Amino acid sequence: IQGESYVDESMISGEPIPVEKTAEAEVVGGTVNGTGSLTFRATKVGGDTMLAQIIRMVEEAQGAKLPIQDLVNRITLWFVPAVMAIALATFLTWLLVGPAPALSFALVASVAVLIIACPCAMGLATPTSIMVGTGRAAELGVLFRQGDALQTLSGVQTVALDKTGTLTEGRPELTDFDHADVLRMVASVEVRSEHPIAAAIVRRAEQTGLSLADVETFDSITGYGVSAMIEGRKVLVGADRLMEKQGIDLGDTAAIAAQLGQAGKTPLYAAIDGQLAAIIAVSDPIKSTTAEAIAALHSLGLKVAMITGDNRATANAIAARLGVDTVIAEVLPEGKVDAVAQLKAQGGKVAFVGDGINDAPALAAADVGVAIGTGTDVAIEAADVVLMSGDLRGVVNALHISQRTMANIRQNLFWAFSYNALLIPVAAGVFY
C-alpha cells in the first residue's frame, strides 16, 4: 500500500530478474524484497497463501498418480495357475496310463513339472535389471526416486522443459558490450547496486580485468536505473525511459533494442555527460549443453516442449534457436500444471523437467517429473527422477537407461518364459 522497490519473485515465477513494485501492486508471501521499503496489507494467510496453494497442488497431483502394474505380476497371474493345471493333468494322465507303479511315476512327472516351472528366472528378471540399471544411472548422475519411473520414462513421448535454470544458466549475464572504457564506467556505477543485472555487469568487468573507478555520488532511480558522478563525469545507466526522462537522444537505436529483445535479451542504455555511450544487452544465457541435449531427444523420436513464465517473445526466440517443437509461455505455477495436462491431451506420456519451487506442481502432475539437482529441495521432493547436475544431457541419459533397462527386462522375461515353455513338456514326460 506504500513504497517502491524491486522484489525477487523467482520462488514463484522462476524468473531471475526482480519485479518492480509500487503502491497497489500485489506481492507474494515468501518472496524477497530488495533495497526499498514496502508497507503492505496481508490479504491471504495460512492455507490461502500462494506457497500453501502450491504445496496443495503438489499433494493432489501426487495423489492422482496411478501405480504402474508390474510386468512380472501380469505374466505370473496366468503362468502359475497354468503350471498347476499342467502338473495336475500330468499326474492324472500318468496315473491312468503310466507304467507300474503308476502312482510313483505320476508323482515324479508332476513334481518334475513343478520344479522345472519354478519361476525363479521370472522372479529375477526384473529386480536384477533394475539393480543394474539404477546402479548405472547413479554412475551417470541420474537418481530414480520412484521405482515405477524407470518403467514409465521408457514410454514417454513428449519432454516438457522449464526455461529458467533448466535450459538456461538461471542468472543474468552481460551478453553484448564492446566498449571497455564505457564498461569500466558503467561497472563502477553498478557495483553500488544490488540488482542482479548490475551484478552481471560487474562480473563481466571483473572477468575482463578492468579496475573500477571511485564513485563520487550515487543515486538509484527506482524503476528507471542509476545515476552517478565518476571522475567528474555524469554516468547514467538504465532503461530507455531513464534516457528519455533525462533528455538523452537515443537516435535510431530502437531497431537495435527490438533486435535484442527478439533475441531474448534485455536492452539497457549507458550515457556519459548527456550523450548516449552504449547499448548494453543482458540475458540469461542458454547452457552450453542444451542444444545438444534437445537434438539427442529429437533423435530418440521425442517431441520437445518449453513451458515458462517468461514473456512470449523471449520464449519464442529461445525456442527457435534450440529447435523446440512447442512453446507455452507466460504461465504461473498452476498454469504449468494445465500446460502439462494440455500436452497429455495431445497424446502420449509427458515428462516434465524443472528446477524451481514453481515447477513442483508440474513435476508432480507429469507422468514422470525430472528435477535438476541444482534446483530447490521442493522441486527435488516432487520429482520422480533427479539429475544430480544441471546438465540437461542427464535427461537423455535417464531416457537411455530407462529404455535399455526395460528392453533387458523384456529379454529376461522372454527367455525365462521360453525356457519353461520348452522344458515343461519334457518334464511332463512327452518323450517317454
How many CA atoms does the CB half-sphere of 37 hold within 13 Å?
A: 0
Q: Which of 426, 431, 432, 430 is nearest to 115 (CA)?
A: 426
d(CA 399, CA 77): 29
The answer to whether 214 touches 228, Cβ cutoff 8 Å, is no
Pairing of strands 32-33, 5-8: antiparallel
Using alpha carbons, list the distances in angstroms from residue 161 to 166, 200, 222, 312, 322.
Answer: 7, 25, 34, 15, 12
d(CA 52, CA 110): 62
d(CA 289, CA 329): 22
Catalytic-residue membership of 162: yes
Q: Which of 352, 361, 372 is nearest to 307 (CA)?
A: 352
Q: Which of 290, 300, 286, 247 is nearest to 269 (CA)?
A: 247
Q: Where are the beta strands (DSSP E) in 138-185?
A: 142-144, 156-162, 173-176
Which residues neighbour 172 within 8 Å (Cβ) at sequence distance 6 or greater? 16, 17, 196, 197, 199, 200, 266, 282, 283, 284
Q: What are phi and psi of 45, to 5 degrees?
A: -135, 165
Q: Which residues of 162-197 are buried (b: 16+ CB within 10 A; e: fewer)?
A: bbbbbbbbbbbbbbebeeeebbbbbbbbbbebebbb
Which helix (H) or strand (E) element contains residue 378? helix 377-382
Q: For the sheet containing 275-283, what is the strand order?
A: 173-176, 275-283, 266-272, 233-238, 225-230, 215-221
Pairing of strands 303-307, 38-39: unpaired
The answer to whether 216 touches 204, Cβ cutoff 8 Å, is no
Q: Find the catalytic residue in 8, 48, 148, 162.
A: 162
Kindly report whether the peptide bond that precedes residue 101 is cis, defined as omega within 30 degrees of 0: yes
Catalytic residue positions?
Answer: 162
